[in-house]
Amino acid sequence: MVRIVLIDDDPISTFVTEKLISKNIKVPHKIFKFQSATKALQDIYNIDPNYLFLDLNMPEMTGWDFLEEFRPKDLSPEIYILSSSVDERDIVKATNYAVVKKYLSKPLVKKYIQNIFN
């Protein structure tokens, strides 16, 4: 079973992402949704995700803060930043994190899903 984690404080964005993933991947999967990066960080090690989609701009703990705190010991999820920010500085900063596979702009589109999961 493929385990997918969505971390985004915007419930509409999370809903759209979840539906798009569910419609476009054929393998059995389970999606875990978090509106708080702090809560996600507490639960992430028990979930052991294969894929993680992370928003950057969130209250309390940002996506950047999450990346600083996240220590994937035995975990090796593919992490995708999924952000509405098109700021070049954010895109460049994301490349400084070895755990980040790719920077994607919201909204997630079918082409991205097919590339990620195929």
Packing angle of the helix pair 110-117, 11-24 (nearest 10 deg): 60
pLDDT in tens, 59-86: 999 999 999 999 877 768 999 999 998 8
What integer is the mean pLDDT of 12-23?
A: 94
Sorted by where each begins, the domain ranges of the chain are 2-109
Alpha-carbon separation of residue 45 from 49, 71, 82, 101, 111 (angstroms)? 8, 9, 21, 19, 29
Ramachandran angles phi, psi of 7, nearest 5°: -120, 110
Task: Based on DSSP, count helices (H) and strands (E) in the chain, helices before strands.
Answer: 5, 5
CATH superfamily, domain at 2-109: Response regulator (3.40.50.2300)
pLDDT in tens, 29-56: 999 999 999 999 999 999 999 999 999 9
